[in-house]
Amino acid sequence: MSVAYFPGCTLSTKAAGYDKSGRAVAQALGMPLVELPEWQCCGATFPLATENSMALIAPTRLLTQAQNAGGHVTTLCAICFHVLRRTQNSLQAHPEMLERINWFTEEPYEGKTRVSHFLELLRDDLTWETLAAKVTNPLKGLKVAPYYGCLLLRPQAEIGLDNADEPKIMHDCLTALGCEVIDFPYETECCGSYLAVSKPELPEKLSREIVASARQHGAQALVTACPLCQFNLDYPQRIGAGGSFGNEIPVLYFTQLMAVALGLDESSWGMEKHYIDPRPLFEKTLAV
C-alpha cells in the first residue's frame, strides 16, 4: 500500500533525519511513501484572513497533485499537515473560494483529497496492534515524554487528529514500541514556534521550561512530530548555550524511535545532526 507523500521544505533540509527515518519505517511496514513529483512549499502558515484566497493557492496546488496521484496525501511535518488539513476544510466549507482558486491556477481541484498525518495512517490504516507485532527490538525501559505542541492538534474542530487537551495518538505509538510513556504538564504547550526567527529569546525560555518539566517527570527523551518543535527544544541545550550541565535530554522524532524498535540499520535513524545526540542513549540503555 503506497501513499502519496509531501515531505515539505524543512524535511528536505534541516530535518532530513525525520524524512530519512520516516521513509525507512514506512517501507519496513509495507506502506512506502511516494513523493509528490513537483511539490512546492505549502506556505508554512495558514492565513488568519479567512477570505485570503491567494494564500491558499500553494496548498491547493499540492492537494491537486495528490488528487491526481490517487486522492490521498500524507505528511510527517506537523506544520505542513496543519496547513493542508485546514486548507482542505476551508475549501470544502467555501466552494466559491475553491472556484476562484481553480480559475486562477487553471488546475481543476475537486476538493476531495484525503489529508493524513503519518501518525494517523499508523493508527487508522495499520493499527497499533500490527505495529507492536512488527517490533523486533522493544524499547523497554526507555522513558519518553511525547511532546505534541500546537499545530498537530489545534484548532481541534478543523484538525480533528485527536483530543487537543488530552491527546493519546503519540502515546499509543510509543507504547506499541515498548516505551514507558511519561506524561508531563507541558506536552501540549507552545514552544514559541516561528518566534525562533524574530525573537529567539522567547522560544528559548519556553523550550527550557518544557525540557525541564519533562526531565523532572523522569523522561530520558522528548519525542515530537514537528521539526520546528524539535529544533526549539533541542537547540537551547547545545554546548555553549548557557545550560549544558550534563542533564540534557535528546529530542527525537517518533519515526526515529520506530526505526530503532523495528530493528532497522542505524544509517536509517537520521540522528546525526541532533544538537543533543540521542545515539548514546540507545547504546547505554538498550544496547542496540
Block means of pLDDT (10 residues each) for the chain, length 288 residues? Answer: 94 97 98 96 89 92 97 98 97 95 95 97 98 97 97 96 97 98 97 84 91 96 97 86 71 98 97 95 65
pTM of this prediction?
A: 0.95
Angle value at C-alpha 209, between 203 and 210, nearest 5 degrees: 85
pLDDT number for residue 245 = 58
Contact between residue 76 and residue 66 where contact means Cβ atoms under 8 Å apart: no
Q: Specify the pLDDT at position 9.
A: 96
CA distance 62 to 65: 5
Where in the sequence of the chain do the CATH 1.20.1050.140 domains occur?
Answer: 3-118
Pick the CATH number of 128-285 from 3.40.50.9100, 3.40.50.11810, 1.10.3720.10, 3.30.43.10: 3.40.50.11810
Q: How far apart are CA 172 and CA 277, in angstroms?
A: 25
The CATH 3.40.50.11810 portion of the chain extends over 128-285
Q: What kind of fold does domain 3-118 have according to CATH?
A: Glutathione S-transferase Yfyf (Class Pi); Chain A, domain 2 (1.20.1050)
Question: What is the per-residue pLDDT for 200?
Answer: 84
